[in-house]
Structure 1
Amino acid sequence: MSRELKLGYKASNEQFPPQELLRYGVLAEQNGFDSVFVSDHLQPWRHDGGHAPFAMTWLGALGASTERITIGTSVLTPTFRYHPAIVAQAFATLGCLYPGRVVLGMGSGESMNEVPLGVEWPDGKERFARFREAVKLIRELWNGERVTFEGDFYSTDKATIYDRPEQDVPIWLASSGPAATRFAGRQGDGWITTSGKDPELYTDTLMPAIAEGAEKAGRDVGDIDMMIEVKVSFDHDRDKAMDATRFWGALGLTAEQKSGVEDPVEMQRLADDLSVEQTAKRFIVSTDPDEHVEKIKTYLDLGFNHLVFHAPGPDQATFLELYGKEILPRLRAL
């Protein structure tokens, strides 16, 4: 099956206040993007200049302010701050309001969003188990009435979601490791991962894992939407393109450097110690549109069909206009 190419915009709620971010979501539609996905954070990656508007409320406003784009989360954690039933209710409502336009993107979470609320952050095995159970419960609530569910972590007693769209909202599952990616292949309507890592992670681990998961479930991997957040900094001025990545310096930290850091002030301190070369290493930094598209094409060649672009700079309006004129047409021409 040949999946349709979709080109989206990542609305970074860690970087912009809700009203400004909403304007960028509307501009994305006006500049030819197919989708807008918003991150879901209680706390941002840095304290100074950081923001964290509530993703589900913001999506409601975005849907009301646009007409055609697909909207969703990339990604939301349905296991700690939110009981899975609340996520099921929220996205059923969004699906009623904006039928055929809503995606529920879910992941297993970041400690920085949960620990400040008193959560004792469990190990990866438990987080994955919670994640699997949450997916199961959400689907049962969307497809049944008076649902009594007894899981290892969540339970319901004759619960009903009373307002549901005619068709379930697609669930896209995020991962960056083999086990969760196989799960996405088994259970996800779509799969979400992120760019800028070792190329062998995609070729040797993730792509085989999504195919393996689909095969074990008797599914065609071609029926799964394959989404990747592509980190890009595109500007005609290379210095500006490089400097724009500084706000997102935390992405340049190693997993060991970030481990156990739940305070945006401390995360900011660690990130600000990095050079601009280090903060830019996760991004495709370009001034030439043809070179830029050639680098992005790597992800299309891997099999991703839905590219969601995360631009790090403060001037998102200019980015959206430049991308709409110089990059999106070139990608579609491929």
Structure 2
Amino acid sequence: MTRFGYTLMTEQSGPKQLVGYAQGAEQAGFDFEVMSDHYFPWLEEMGHSPYAWSVLGAVAHATERVELMTYVTCPTVRYHPAVVAQKAATVQILADGRFTLGLGSGERLNEHVVGEGWPGAHVRQEMLAEAIEIIRKLLTGEMVTHEGDYFSVDTAKLWDVPEQGLDIGVAVSGEKGIEQFAELADHLIAVQPDAELITQWNAVSGAAQIPGKARAIGQIPVSWAPSEEEAVTRAHELFRWFGGGWEVNADLPTPAGFDAAAQFVREEDVAGAIPCGPNLDKIAEAVKKYVDAGFTDVALVQVGDERQEQFLTEAAGPLLEKLRAL
């Protein structure tokens, strides 16, 4: 049975609000919660970008049942993988084993801030693979020294290691990425309801199978509101960047760049890509694409901050009933 999650969207809400939404999502019945990890929002209208790991610690303390996950963290430029290993281990302990470390190769939008440049896509993938190797070593609790192609680690050791271990999910978008990461990761992360991704993952020798030991974790934006007009307007204001695709989005440096790239995106374009309005059947039909593709987990993104509480208290319960009936 597919599990359904809620996205703690750091780009559109402040840190205290996110902790409150995490509690509300748990009470509404969501199975898990994922959190984005950005330095910038995609658009200035979104208005927020608190430090995800501080918020995760608070969420781990404020919730009891829901599983938690980064969706996703880049452990290569803005963060050194040794630091990612330490904070992921700490969150896993705070969450009593409910945390999964979701990783990806990153976006220039967030990673350029440390002034180390932005490598090409193939280099980013190689850096991610080496970072996973380092994180895995440190999670053993042993002393680690590493001299690789991209990273050095000098006699590092994690002193607080979770007894439960720590699963790692990796964001992939095609066959090449799957071939590179299926054996390194525990779970697949993808933002398109593409059944072929799961088929390709399962075909990799040594990869954990989906469904089974491995999970396929997807994500879909929705814009619920009492009126369709309001929902479409908000989705266009805050998520018009969404149609560019990750090959474009990964290389844009600032919110101004995303704004320029999306200047010709119309409200009807966004409404065609994101289910908008009060019709829960319409939202469920969009989510069903992931269920039909074989995804084991699907996280919903409720677009905008102003309707989050109402979404969680009024719409989430009935929507989850419809989703679980799929």
TM over 0.5: yes
Aligned match of 2:235: 245
CA deviations on 1:107-166 (whole Å, 9 max, x unpaired) are: 000011112321221111100000001111100111141112221111223221111110
**Could you tell me how far apart the structure 1 residues matched to 2:65 and 2:207 are?**
32
Aligned match of 2:324: 332
Q: Which amino acid aligns with 2:225?
A: D
CA deviations on 1:268-310 (whole Å, 9 max, x unpaired) are: 2443542112233431335432343233222111111111001
Any conservation in 1 of the 2:97–2:162 contact (CA below 8 Å)? no
**Could you tell me how far apart the structure 1 residues matched to 2:186 and 2:277 are?**
33
Aligned match of 1:146: 143
Moved more, 155-164 or 103-112: 155-164
Identity of aligned residues (%): 34
Aligned match of 1:317: 309
Aligned match of 2:21: 24
Map 1:70-89 → 2, pairs under 5 A: 70-89=67-86
Any conservation in 1 of the 2:127–2:150 contact (CA below 8 Å)? yes
**Structure 2 stretches lacking a partner, 5+ long:** none
Offset at 1:16? Answer: 1.2
2:199 to 202, 208, 227: 208
SS across alignment from 2:322: helix
Q: Which amino acid aligns with 1:52?
A: S
Offset at 1:105? Answer: 0.5
Offset at 1:259? Answer: 6.7
Q: Which amino acid aligns with 1:225?
A: R
CA deviations on 1:315-334 (whole Å, 9 max, x unpaired) are: 11112223322210122233
CA-based RMSD of the aligned residues comes to: 2.0
Any conservation in 1 of the 2:12–2:304 contact (CA below 8 Å)? no
Moved more, 82-91 or 248-257: 248-257
Map 1:1-334 → 2, pairs under 5 A: 4-195=1-192, 202-204=194-196, 206-213=197-204, 216-217=205-206, 219-222=208-211, 223-246=213-236, 247-253=238-244, 258=249, 260-285=251-276, 287-314=278-305, 315-334=307-326
**Structure 1 stretches lacking a partner, 5+ long:** none
Q: Which amino acid aligns with 1:230?
A: I
Q: Which amino acid aligns with 2:66?
A: I
SS across alignment from 2:34: strand
* C-alpha distance 311-218 of structure 1, shift in aligned 2 (>3 A): closer
Any conservation in 2 of the 1:179–1:209 contact (CA below 8 Å)? no
Any conservation in 2 of the 1:94–1:102 contact (CA below 8 Å)? yes
Moved more, 154-163 or 255-264: 255-264
Task: Provide TM-score, normalisation by structure 2.
Answer: 0.92
Moved more, 321-330 or 95-104: 321-330
Any conservation in 2 of the 1:116–1:262 contact (CA below 8 Å)? no
**Could you tell me how far apart the structure 1 residues matched to 2:34 and 2:223 are?**
18
Offset at 1:48? Answer: 3.7
Any conservation in 2 of the 1:39–1:74 contact (CA below 8 Å)? yes
**Could you tell me how far apart the structure 1 residues matched to 2:30 and 2:49 are?**
23
Moved more, 305-314 or 69-78: 305-314
Offset at 1:218? Answer: 5.6
Offset at 1:66? Answer: 1.1
* C-alpha distance 92-121 of structure 1, shift in aligned 2 (>3 A): same
Q: Which amino acid aligns with 1:271?
A: A
**Could you tell me how far apart the structure 2 residues matched to 1:174 and 1:300 are?**
18
CA deviations on 1:201-245 (whole Å, 9 max, x unpaired) are: x144x23321222xx116433221111001222334221221221
SS across alignment from 2:262: helix
Q: Which amino acid aligns with 1:221?
A: I
Moved more, 44-53 or 277-286: 277-286
Offset at 1:13? Answer: 0.6
Offset at 1:57? Answer: 0.8
* C-alpha distance 272-157 of structure 1, shift in aligned 2 (>3 A): same
Paired residues, number: 323
Any conservation in 2 of the 1:231–1:311 contact (CA below 8 Å)? yes
Moved more, 62-71 or 316-325: 316-325
